[in-house]
Amino acid sequence: MTQPLYQKIKTDLKNQIISGQRLSGSKLPTEKELSDSYHVSRITAKRALTDLEQDGFITRVQGSGSFVKEFIPKNAPRRILLVLPLEESTELSIAPLSEGVMTILQAEKIDVLLTNFDFLTHRNTRDITSEFDGLIYYARNEEAHLDLLVALALQNFPVIILDKKIHDLPFPAVTADNEVGGYLATKHLQQLGHKKIAYYFGTKSHPQSTRQRYFGYLRALSEEKLPFHTHLEDTYLSGESLSDYLRQNNVTALVCENDLFALRAIQQLRQQNWQIPAELSVTGFDDTPAARFFDPALTTILQDFKKIGNTAAKLLLSWLQAGKQPTDRKISVKLIQRNSTTALIGGNYES
């Protein structure tokens, strides 16, 4: 059966729009130009343009002509939910993390709703799946919102987890290489001559990221066959108890689970008359802005938050477009040496 002439014009223009030959905002040929080109009547050309307008491919402006609308395939992601601990933004480098996500998704003209954990408290699975095409979720711990996440997993809803791997769920995670970070911090102190190196837990709970950093600390000590190490249950929350522990064990260096606790430990120890780094070298983890401007500036492990965000967004985008679930990604870390660590020679600090 012969294709109607208006349908051929419509199909040709539609394919040109979808393929990108005719860009968003570009002007289409006029009814007269189409009728001359296809050797049809203006009524036939007009019908083709009218159908394209009704299908959402073009917009027609009286007196100006027909223009290509922004084309978004039906299966393209349109809205992503990004859940971050915004209330902790002064303690964590949330800005580069969100920037990393936004840069990728907004370049694809995808709307991103950035919000905190409270948003999920007032939403059920149906709300999330009907409003959004995917979720990027910062795992503050491995139990929060577990019921909602399980329900999303059962519906095969695309979710990328940040900071921690939730092993009970099938979702891919994007994390810093925490174990290597703990290892690098400890090796740095060993290279400065330290042998009595302690690990500082800022709280009595030890989340996955903290445990992995601690494992890296233990690996570095094991390689050098150093017998002294901090145990998981060795948690000292007050400056006085921390000071007593360090003095009793002749500790000369301290690996802290993150920058926040490192700076807190330094402040507490100063109240106990410790000189940093003259008596104790201290490292952190994260490379937060506070670490850079503290006195002394903190030696720390750089966690590339922007790259973590970039990677998470790319994985989610690939998942949505290709329909194939990605695998976990670990983002490399590196040591940033500053003034909170110094060399120890012959059991005494280098002057």
What domains are defined for the chain? 5-68 (1.10.10.10), 79-176+305-331 (3.40.50.2300), 178-303+336-349 (3.40.50.2300)
For position 54, what pLDDT does the model report?
Answer: 85
For position 351, what pLDDT does the model report?
Answer: 37
Q: Between β-strands 344-345 and 329-331, what pairing exists: parallel, antiparallel or unpaired?
A: unpaired
Q: What does the pLDDT look like over 271-313, one tens digit per residue? A: 999 999 999 999 999 999 999 999 999 999 999 999 999 999 9
For position 204, what pLDDT does the model report?
Answer: 85
Nearest CA among 76, 157, 80 for reference residue 111: 80
CB atoms within 10 A of CB 328: 13
**End-to-end Cα distance, the chain:** 93
The letter for the amino acid at 210 is T
β-pair partners for 27: 67
For position 350, what pLDDT does the model report?
Answer: 47
Q: Does an H or E element contain 336, and which?
A: strand 333-336
Alpha-carbon radius of gyration of the chain: 29
Q: Which residues in the chain show pLDDT less than 70?
A: 1-2, 70-77, 88-92, 345-351
Q: Cα angle vertex 66, ends 61, 67, to 5°?
A: 100
For position 73, what pLDDT does the model report?
Answer: 54
- For the record, the structure tokens of 247 come out as 């003095």
Distance CA 340, CA 290 (A): 13
Q: Does an H or E element contain 281, and which?
A: strand 281-283
CB atoms within 10 A of CB 10: 21
